[in-house]
Structure 1
């Protein structure tokens, strides 16, 4: 092995020790979370409603129904999830964050989902923050994933066969060999085949941890340019706070979105919680899919449109940024994409384990070799002593 490859092996090994446990946890939780919508749909009947031939209730009506159910709560957001799913009103109280599921046709409260008790939300927080404080967990997870990117690159350098004749053999797992050899192949061969997708999952995950990665994706898509209107945060006119309106501002915003984005099947409203902050609205083409969205900002006091940015007018960088979550979980390519993301995440979780087994096996082998060398030297020493004594007697 060349000095260069020895240095790469040293780096690969010790970076693996540093990040291995976090990579394993993040990858396993990613596998679990990948199909969370499908699993929860199968488990909970309140996630579906019967389609009715009448319009949805307006956001202000949904808010009243949610606050009637939980009077101490404060509204944090509103989601319309399509014609066959309940609407959600986010509430915050002393207990925590609640998602109140409401039938959008009748206003009936269907379920109170306390987020800190939701299994998949807990899995998501482990995946993102390891259940540490957000600012700490984000750095720990992000740094470990960044190290994992380096591990994948160094792994390819170490594994890549020198001779063309060895390549065919290196691309397959020898299932009939001894278990240590199978483990070695699992680490190298599966690591190779999963590298391209794993890098995509890693980079899209890093954009959730580090602003510079997210900005890098945006600027990379725009060839280094920043479109000012796409980054502008509008302010509500606080002087209009005391102005009485017949229609609540959020209902005005809802009417605007349904008119300008008639193709949308999922609407989300959030923000407008602090003085002067804009009320944000997002219109998605498909329920539970977070790409291809029209973006709005409204005055929180009047519902006046401050920004309307349809998906068709967005830059490539912003479109890539919007697609980030769907790419990360694979649903950008539908069910096959989610299955692929699940398999690759499972392989990523296995790599620290198979790598550790390889290291321990080599260490054990190295110790055994040293013992043999010591015993070999001792036997030679005894033989030399015996020969010396025999020669002295003869003389």
Structure 2
């Protein structure tokens, strides 16, 4: 029976090994994407808090308009942390405008938008429209001086290239399918690997749980593949399983089917256009932010999505200090004229399918428990990159051994 599982393990590994190695390597790089991005461009994300209070958003908007004359502001994100800049998400379009002196950044979109699109979710439903980097740029502004501190375009970053490799080997829909099929194969590879690892006797258990560093290179290669493969199997299985959500639509649909939840979210509510235009017009971002702070005074961040139409509503996503993960936000829609709450939903009020699907990204990236789980994720991704290599060496050594055996039998005959 083990011969049967060994053949499955071998042939699936030979077919998908190169893709699996690339996916694990790129996945390891992306584990600390946020931390690396903020470390490399700290001036974009962080400022020195001033003794005075933050300037009104309208002043910051004027700075964005001065920086990029044709900018169309689609949203704004304000953090409770006084050291964070304010992020203005711009609608896609010409990227005119000059960059501030000392700015290392290029054009792009906000962390929240980038994270939400990579997770495959949007405001109207779980499946977002547009691919990676499909949003306009994001401009970062010092809330105390109104100075533009940077601009980000995800498509122009190294991480976007790494992400496209991770998701589809830069091969579009075909590459995405190849990665998805290889991921499915990887699940069977992990399962058959555990069957092959299972020791026949109690005495052999100790050998399968400990790397013999003092052995020859062949023994060391064997232990690196077998022993470390056992310790990382559960993590790799979870990472591969959750990764299927970005490869196959049927997998996403099955999440909602199993949880008996509707996949599509309801349309955003509409604002009631006043019969007589108000002297001040629609609600200002400052007024919307003030209203959001009244509703969620302890939130870590407030992300305002501004309406595109006269009947549209202002969507505000707030993140609690004890949120399960970064996108576990509470949501409220405000009438853009009166500020009245049109619809409100906490994270707990999302349907089960949305909550389960939302957990896939933090679990897949190892962000679910913060730094400890991220470090584990990085180590496991590095090991996943090595297993196709050590496995190939094991197979080649076995082939050589069998050939020598056949030669000895032939000589004896």
Give the TM interval when normalised to the shorter protein. 0.7 to 0.9
Question: Does residue 23 of structure 2 align to residue 26 of structure 1?
Answer: yes
| 159-168 or 86-95, larger mean C-alpha shift | 86-95
| 235-244 or 287-296, larger mean C-alpha shift | 235-244
Question: Aligned with 2:163: secondary structure?
Answer: helix
- Cα RMSD of the aligned pairs, angstroms, is 3.4
When residues 318 and 242 of structure 1 are mapped into structure 2, their CA distance, relative to the original with a 3 A threshold, is: farther
1-structure distance, mates of 2:302, 2:147: 19
Q: Quick check: which one's helix share is greater?
A: 1
2-structure distance, mates of 1:365, 1:154: 23
For residues 121-147 of structure 1, the C-alpha deviation after alignment (integer angstroms, 9 at most, x for no partner) is 3323322233333x4443332322222
| 240-249 or 191-200, larger mean C-alpha shift | 240-249
For residues 326-361 of structure 1, the C-alpha deviation after alignment (integer angstroms, 9 at most, x for no partner) is 222222212111111111111111111111111122
For residues 248-289 of structure 1, the C-alpha deviation after alignment (integer angstroms, 9 at most, x for no partner) is 465554333222222211233447558977654321125995
For residues 81-113 of structure 1, the C-alpha deviation after alignment (integer angstroms, 9 at most, x for no partner) is 443211222333345743321113332100122
Matches within 5 A, 1:101-140: 101-133=140-172, 135-140=173-178
Match of residue 87 from structure 2: 88
Q: What is the number of equivalent residue pairs in this alignment?
A: 369
2-structure distance, mates of 1:140, 1:54: 55
Matches within 5 A, 1:128-167: 128-133=167-172, 135-167=173-205
| 38-47 or 231-240, larger mean C-alpha shift | 231-240
2-structure distance, mates of 1:174, 1:212: 44
For residues 282-319 of structure 1, the C-alpha deviation after alignment (integer angstroms, 9 at most, x for no partner) is 21125995154212345678766443111243455433
Q: Which has the higher contact order (CA 8 A, sep 6+)?
A: 2
In structure 1, list runs of 5 or more residues that go unmatched. 378-395
Question: Does residue 302 of structure 2 align to residue 267 of structure 1?
Answer: yes
1:12 to 9, 12, 32: 9
2-structure distance, mates of 1:168, 1:86: 54
Match of residue 48 from structure 1: 46
Question: Greater Rg, structure 1 or structure 2?
Answer: 1
Question: Does residue 70 of structure 2 align to residue 36 of structure 1?
Answer: no
Question: Does residue 202 of structure 2 align to residue 205 of structure 1?
Answer: no
Match of residue 322 from structure 1: 358
In structure 2, list runs of 5 or more residues that go unmatched. 96-106, 109-136
1-structure distance, mates of 2:288, 2:364: 30
| 270-279 or 182-191, larger mean C-alpha shift | 270-279
Question: Does residue 265 of structure 2 align to residue 231 of structure 1?
Answer: yes
When residues 34 and 260 of structure 1 are mapped into structure 2, their CA distance, relative to the original with a 3 A threshold, is: same
When residues 307 and 56 of structure 1 are mapped into structure 2, their CA distance, relative to the original with a 3 A threshold, is: farther
When residues 144 and 10 of structure 1 are mapped into structure 2, their CA distance, relative to the original with a 3 A threshold, is: same
2-structure distance, mates of 1:374, 1:329: 53
